[in-house]
Amino acid sequence: MFILWSLFEKNTFAHPVESVIDIGGHFNTMSDTGQSYFPDGDADTYQIEYYDAKTVVREQKRSGNINLNPYQGCWHDCVYCDGKAENYHMHEDFGTRIKVKQNSPELLEAYLKKKGLIPINRKHTGTLLDFSEDMKQDIENEPDFTVCIGGGVCDVYQPAEKEVKMTRRLLQMAVDYNIPVFILTKNKLILRDLDLLVKINETSKATVAMSVAFDSDDIQKIFEPNASSTTERFETLATLADAGIHTGIWAMPLIPWIADTDENMEAVFRRAKEAGVEWMLAGGLTLKPGRQKDAFMRTIEKHYPELLDKYLALYGNNNKWGIPDIPVAKSLGLVDSHDKGKKLAKKYGMVAQGWFGDGKW
Ligand code: SF4
């Protein structure tokens, strides 16, 4: 999760933790190919809990789109993830124990029905359409919103999705109801669902953004230990683009002195262009005081000890939204990575916009 600090406004990602009424945890740890689902194959460290949530749909006031966050927690365990920040009220072992809202498809379907929509692409709709196929041509069933799957305190293609298959079920619902979708991820697992994304794109619109902030796979691994590598992400984007899916990158968080350098940003944008990416959004790093900032500083201390003092000064203001101290940033020679990204987008012929642009992808 990210906040654009250069364009900062009140964070809209937060959503309350719902009550856990059913905790499971046991599941098959091996995929069909015999590979472990767990990052590094460590089955003792990683846990999945299932529960019935009261809600899963969150309406975005400005765009009218809806957000679905079927998971809480994320095995990608990015060092900078602001889902770790206390104000999200997530569980402390957010990076290893995830909670799955197992009734998400049912909750989504109830929402869509309430909106008057019909699953026109389903074999049996449970309506009069089952008796008159021709009527399908005439009915008004075009939702005026996009379903954004994930983007909250989870990545919906984190490794656990291989087992849970929740995102696939939600995509199938989008196919059934002919609804446009937007997905943000850091994992090549999205290609498992290429068939559904293509179906959605045939009659509606499927848009995928991958966040890519580091050119080097080695540096990326330090900050995003369990996500797909940068190389794999660009390969994934190229495959999606070849299949006609609209793709973009979120080049963020562009970590000061490491990812916001000219060399790194230039390489990321060039590779994005080569992968057929249509649009981009660049942004800096926010660090909320508490767990999120502590985790990040520990990593800097370990891997970039020479930068620690600068980071401590830059985020020494302990801004509650994690925005760095702007006068300190200027005095340390930092430039706005968002603006820098816009210039690079222009250079590489990509649209400089993010989130949902005009509100409707
Ligand atoms: S992929 Fe996103 S939600 Fe998951 S740990 Fe990384 S930043 Fe957090």
Amino acid symbol at 68: L
Render 49-116 in DSSP notation, one character per residue: EEE--S--EEE-TTT--EEE--EES-TT--TT-GGGSGGGT--TTTTTEEEEETTHHHHHHHHHHHTT
b/e map of 76-91 (b: 16 or more CB within 10 Å)?
Answer: bbbbbbbbbbeebebb
Closest ligand 1 atom number to CA of residue 77: 5
Q: In the predicted model, what is the mean pLDDT of the chain?
A: 84
Q: Which atom of ligand 1 is nearest to the CA of 94?
A: 5
Domain presence at residue 360? no
Atom of ligand 1 nearest to the CA of 74: 4
For residues 96 and 64, what is the distance between their CA atoms, to the nearest angstrom? 33
In a domain, 135, yes or no: yes
Tell me how far apart the alpha carbons of residues 351 and 209 are, in angstroms, rounded to a whole number: 13
In a domain, 358, yes or no: no
Residue 147 lies in a domain: yes
For residues 110 and 283, give the distance between their C-alpha atoms in angstroms, rounded to a whole number: 36
Counting ligand 1 atoms within 8 A of each CB, the residue from 154, 221, 226 with the most, and so the one to mutate, is 154
Judge whether 289 lies within some domain. yes
The answer to whether residue 320 sits within a structural domain is yes
Query: Ligand 1 atom closest to Cα of 187?
Result: 1
Structure confidence by residue, pLDDT tens digits, 267-318? 999 999 999 999 999 999 999 999 899 999 999 999 999 999 999 999 999 9
Residue 28 Cα, ligand 1 centroid: separation in angstroms? 24
CATH of the domain at 254: 3.20.20.70
Looking at residue 97, its amino acid is R
Domain limits for position 33: 5-352
Pairing of strands 57-59, 66-68: antiparallel
Q: For each of the chain's 361 residues, which pLDDT tens digit applies? A: 444 444 333 332 222 222 222 222 223 344 444 455 556 556 667 889 999 999 999 998 888 899 999 999 999 999 999 887 777 777 778 788 899 999 999 999 999 999 989 898 887 777 777 777 676 666 766 778 999 998 767 899 999 999 999 999 999 999 999 999 999 999 999 999 999 999 999 989 999 999 999 999 999 999 999 999 999 999 999 999 999 999 999 999 999 999 999 999 999 999 999 999 999 999 999 999 998 999 999 999 999 999 999 999 999 999 999 999 999 999 999 988 989 999 999 999 998 876 544 444 4
Residue 193's φ and ψ, nearest 5 degrees, are -100, 20
357 domain residue, yes or no? no
Burial status of residue 36 (CB atoms within 10 A of its CB: 0-12, 13-18, 19 or more): middle
Give the separation between CA 192 and CA 183, rounded to whole angstroms: 14
**9-31 confidence digits (pLDDT tens):** 333 222 222 222 222 222 334 44
**Residue with structure tokens 């909750």?**
107
Ligand 1 is surrounded, with C-beta below 6 A, by: 1, 74, 76-78, 81, 83, 153-155, 186, 227
DSSP state of 48: E
Q: How far apart are CA 182 and CA 3, in angstroms?
A: 18
Q: Give a yes or no: residue 359 inside a domain.
A: no
Q: Count how many domains the chain has.
A: 1
Give the span between the Cα atoms of 225 and 42, in whole angstroms.
Answer: 14
Give the H/E segment covering residue 351: strand 351-352
Among 1, 221, 255, residue to substitute to test ligand 1 (most atoms within 8 Å of Cβ): 1
